[in-house]
Amino acid sequence: MTGPVLIGSEIYRGSSYGRNHPLSIPRVSLVLDLCRALGWVDEANYVDSPQATTAQLTRFHTPDYVAAVQRIERDGRATAEDRETYNIGYMENPVFPEMFRRPATACGGSIKAAELAAFGGVAFNPAGGLHHGQKGKASGFCFFNDPVLAIFRLKELGLQRVAYVDIDAHHGDGVEAVFADDPAVLTVSMHERDRWPFSGTSSIPDSAVLNLPVPKGLNDDECAFLLGECIVPAVETFRPDAIVMQCGADALKDDPLSKLALSNRAIWSAVDAVTALSDKCVIVGGGGYNPWSVARCWTGIWGTLNGQATDMELSLETRALLQDIEWRHSLGRNPKKRWFRTLADKPRPGPVRDCVRALAGRFKAA
């Protein structure tokens, strides 16, 4: 691979979790449109995501669960037993027309990203990052778990030590659970404390599990502090052969589902710092429920990976893509003018609180 590769698919444009779901908003499709309008992507650095095969999905998920998601998509309905067994058919993990093909494509994209990165380079699959998916059931909007599948693929390709860094507002519980007993995979998660799924409250150094449960209002300086004092040293000490980074955009101040307060600049700095630690990196998306915040953040990640400026005034064509978005949330009635004008948020500096400093204890992975 010569430069960073962007992985996407048109399936995300034509599908949604349903009208009232937080994921009813455009995300990956808008990122692709913005990157194209900015001239940041062309045939040379774009890969259309394959859909993961059943054999690839069952590398982690149980065959009965994979078959059930396919059947529920085909039938367009979940039975009472499906709700009970697979946690599908409730508001959280609803039945919708592409409910198998869409997450299977997100997984195919992350597996492809692993295959590309394994030979050196960075691959970004913004549709990935479904970090709550469990072996035999759906959880937290995630039907399948693409970070787990990407890590398995990297290991199959001979990369023995993999570091997983997750900066989504929610704990990366599905990934941690799989690798907690594997000292060759370091899992790092920085997430809002006292928020669903309420796990990730402490670290387990002997198992290479580092958790940073952060307080409400986490600002850019606190994020930079934790990166510099905890995350980067932990990954450096671990000496990974490859890195998988989950960049959920729900830790941003303008996101409706968390109470963290980062600007997208903090996320771009984190991407810069983490990708500097290995020449083989897979970057995936994750949460993010304000369409403007998500699209500006992930488009900016792609810009950052390519050394592009992200604080420039957008062209009229690019602004139009952002202005065309409708969002049925109270925050969507009065979008900020800045959300159309430039990709970069205003910096969100602040004091590093004692409770954040206290998280930076000694952590030495095995």
* Residues 137-176 close enough to bind Zn ion by CB under 5 A: 168-170
Quick one: how far is CA 227 from the chain centroid? 17
- Residue among 258 and 263 whose Cβ is closer to Zn ion: 258
255 is a contact residue toward Zn ion (CB under 5 A) = no
Neighbours of 21 (CB within 10 A): 16
Among 123, 121, 125, 143, CA closest to 134 = 143
**Catalytic residue from among 21, 61, 131, 132:** 132
- Residue among 112 and 170 whose Cβ is closer to Zn ion: 170
Residue 84 Cβ vs Zn ion, minimum distance, rounded to whole Å = 25
CA 353, CA 265: separation in Å to the nearest integer?
20
Residue 170 Cβ vs Zn ion, minimum distance, rounded to whole Å = 4
> Is 132 a residue of the active site?
yes
- Residue among 28 and 116 whose Cβ is closer to Zn ion: 28
Query: What φ, ψ does residue 15 adopt, rounded to 5°?
Result: -135, 155
Among 332, 360, 173, 326, CA closest to 248 = 173
* Residues 90-119 close enough to bind Zn ion by CB under 5 A: none
Residue whose beta carbon is closest to Zn ion: 287
CA 211, CA 145: separation in Å to the nearest integer?
19
Burial degree of 35 (CB within 10 A; 0-12, 13-18, 19+): buried
CB 149 within 8 A of CB 57: yes
- Residue among 112 and 132 whose Cβ is closer to Zn ion: 132
Residue 247 Cβ vs Zn ion, minimum distance, rounded to whole Å = 11
250 is a contact residue toward Zn ion (CB under 5 A) = yes
Residue 169 Cβ vs Zn ion, minimum distance, rounded to whole Å = 5
CB 212 within 8 A of CB 359: yes
- Residue among 240 and 288 whose Cβ is closer to Zn ion: 288
Residue 106 Cβ vs Zn ion, minimum distance, rounded to whole Å = 15
Peptide bond into 215 cis (omega under 30): no
Q: Site for Zn ion (CB under 5 A): which residue of 287, 291, 300, 303?
A: 287
Q: Site for Zn ion (CB under 5 A): which residue of 103, 129, 147, 248?
A: 248
The residues carrying an active-site annotation are 132
Chain contacts with Zn ion (rule: CB under 5 A): 168-170, 248, 250, 287
